[in-house]
Amino acid sequence: MGEHLKLITLLGLIVAISIGSIESANILGVFTATSPSHNIIHMAYVNALIERGHNVTVVTALPLKDENPKYHHILIPPTEASTKRMDEMKANAIKKVTIKDRMDRIESILVFGSMMADPLKDQRFQEIMQNPDNKFDLVLVGLFLFNPFYVGLAAHFRCPMAISYTTAPNNILPNFIENPTEVSYVPVSPLYGMSDLTTFKGRLFNFMKNIQFSVFTTLLNYQMEGIYNEIFPASDYPAFEEAKKKVSLVLFNYHFTDGLIRPNVPAAIECGGIQIKDKADPLPVNLEKLFNSSSEHELPGTAPNIHYYRWLPQDDLLQHPNLRLFITHAGKGAVTEAEHHGVSMVAVPMFADQIGNADQVVKNEFGLKLDKATMTESSFKEAVLEVLNNPKYTENIKRFSSLTKDRPMTAKQNAVFWIEYVIRHKGAYHMQSPAVHLNTLQIYSLDVIGFLLMVGFLVYKLITMQVKFILRKVCAMKLSKTQKIKDQ
């Protein structure tokens, strides 16, 4: 009887483990942005998927630091022209710019967009596309603003697509899943800082930014459609707007505890902190010795107190109990890791979403922000001392750390569940917002408003005509009665 009970228990455990899982799936990951920080996020999904036993083929533009033999990696380095353009953009982005510079930058960005097509045209990628034996259950694409035309890959491989986006939902992101746009209380984008939407000035600024980004995304979409038609010709592929509808999920590197409270459709999945390890890996020996022997140093300024490295295991370091302050450029991944591990910050944002991320650090009193253009040795020293010596910053971020960890599933578990859900249900298009199948006029009910205005106008004209007719009759009767009295 005891053996039978053990067998039943074992079978029960096997069934329990099997619930919600799927057989090993073939997944293609395409991450061609030339940004190492983006790859950290994207590869976190890949590593989670191979842990579940899925077969993953990964295409990147940059070498990967921690290669894993469990996935097949294909490296397609950026062209020389693309690298030069990206370097120029980075250099210009950190400068103080005029309105004219901003317009020139937009033109530069649109030119750079066409270079994102280079990896798909590369012979190594063409071999993946043309090999009839390559069957994929899902394509996972790292979205980098300039590559929405990658949606054609879902059409090519006849499978659903999931998108990895390295920051929070915003209005500069191509809205594949038609997440609601609520400009009255949701920040449009962190690119130029975060507006205080409790004030009229903040809402006005947010509204004007929305118009600006709407114009930009319209121009970008026009360009992306042209590139799509070049790589995925109409003779063999659906139209660009139709191909977009094959996007089943957008995995966002954000969580509502970040402070961005907004409505999300079911296809918007919160995966903030996906790259954070459950437990830190052992530090390299030299770093472990340095941190374990650290004491109350004097402020850096002499060589013995300054240690230079080309690369550091950031997530692991932020978990070390002796780390007291994080001086950061305020990239989304860096801020998320510091918040998760409860480390206060001094933020020196350079460009893009870093500005808005730093604003949130200040708003939440997790640390201070310094302007790269006006920062001095004195202001830097004051900021460091303030954050180190004022306990409110550590207390606030420790409290937030506890809050953001309190979830029904970890970011990794959440991502894996929904990716497998989409694979199980062949795209899970029942999750799509109805807005995906509407045009702009329909989404904003402009056609309905136009119809109602037209009906209202017709009703107004009919009522006006009736009133005029009645008035004419009344006036005619009065004239007739007056005339009869005169005749008598």
Backbone angles phi, psi at 277, to 5 degrees: -75, 150
Predicted confidence (pLDDT) at residue 8 exceeds the cutoff of 70: no
Residues 460, 379: Cα–Cα separation, whole Å: 66
- Higher confidence at residue 12 or residue 58? 58
With H, G, I as helix, E, B as strand and everything else as coil, classify residue 214.
helix
Dihedral sign, Cα of residue 325, residue 327, residue 329, residue 333? negative
346: domain CATH number? Answer: 3.40.50.2000
Residues 345, 372: Cα–Cα separation, whole Å: 15
What average pLDDT score do residues 189-195 get?
66
What average pLDDT score do residues 277-297 get?
71
* 170: in domain: yes
- Higher confidence at residue 80 or residue 334? 334
First to last CA, the chain: 123
At 110 the pLDDT is 63
With H, G, I as helix, E, B as strand and everything else as coil, classify residue 184.
coil
Q: How many CB atoms lie within 10 A of CB 320?
A: 18
- Higher confidence at residue 187 or residue 367? 367
Strand 367-369: give its sheet, edge to edge. 326-328, 345-347, 367-369
The set of residues, in sequence order, having a beta carbon less than 8 Å from that of 390 and lying 6+ positions away, is: none
Residues 291, 310: Cα–Cα separation, whole Å: 18
Single residue among 405, 426, 457 that ends a domain in this structure: 405
At 54 the pLDDT is 94
At 419 the pLDDT is 94
Residues 384, 346: Cα–Cα separation, whole Å: 7
- Higher confidence at residue 460 or residue 355? 460
Tokens of 246: 């094959």
Residues 215 and 358 in one domain: no
Residues 221 and 369 in one domain: no
Residues 323 and 181 in one domain: no
**What burial class does residue 344 get, using C-beta atoms within 10 Å of its C-beta: 0-12 exposed, 13-18 middle, 19+ buried?**
buried
- To 5 degrees, how large is the angle CA 265–CA 267–CA 272? 95
Residues 291 and 385 in one domain: yes
Instruction: Give the domain extent around 369.
Output: 285-405
Amino acid identity of residue 415, one-letter, is A
Residues 234, 230: Cα–Cα separation, whole Å: 9
β 138-142/161-165 pair status:
parallel
13 confidence band (pLDDT: 50, 70, 90): very low
Residues 56 and 91 in one domain: yes
Residues 453 and 435 in one domain: no
Single residue among 380, 405, 430 that ends a domain in this structure: 405
With H, G, I as helix, E, B as strand and everything else as coil, classify residue 357.
helix
What are the tens digits of pLDDT across the range 344-365? 999 998 877 788 888 888 888 8
Residues 196 and 180 in one domain: yes
At 219 the pLDDT is 82
Q: How many CB atoms lie within 10 A of CB 7?
A: 10
Residues 269 and 293 in one domain: no
* 399: in domain: yes
Predicted confidence (pLDDT) at residue 306 exceeds the cutoff of 90: no
Residues 201 and 238 in one domain: yes
* 6: in domain: no
Residues 451 and 436 in one domain: no
Residues 77, 59: Cα–Cα separation, whole Å: 10
* 488: in domain: no
What average pLDDT score do residues 105-111 get?
61
Residues 225, 233: Cα–Cα separation, whole Å: 11
Is the CB of residue 328 less than 8 Å from the CB of residue 334? Answer: yes
What is this structure's pTM? 0.82
* 400: in domain: yes
Mean pLDDT of the chain: 83
What average pLDDT score do residues 377-403 get?
90
* 2: in domain: no
Dihedral sign, Cα of residue 307, residue 376, residue 387, residue 362? negative
- Higher confidence at residue 105 or residue 171? 171
Residues 338, 249: Cα–Cα separation, whole Å: 27
Residues 436 and 458 in one domain: no
At 313 the pLDDT is 84
Tokens of 389: 């010596």
Tokens of 467: 């009133």
Residues 418 and 397 in one domain: no
* 238: in domain: yes
Predicted confidence (pLDDT) at residue 425 exceeds the cutoff of 90: yes
Domains: count for the chain: 3
At 98 the pLDDT is 57
At 11 the pLDDT is 43
At 15 the pLDDT is 39
Tokens of 191: 């690119």
* 11: in domain: no
Q: How many CB atoms lie within 10 A of CB 238?
A: 16
What are the tens digits of pLDDT across the range 227-270? 999 999 999 999 999 999 989 999 999 888 887 888 899 999 99
Tokens of 442: 């329909």
45 confidence band (pLDDT: 50, 70, 90): very high
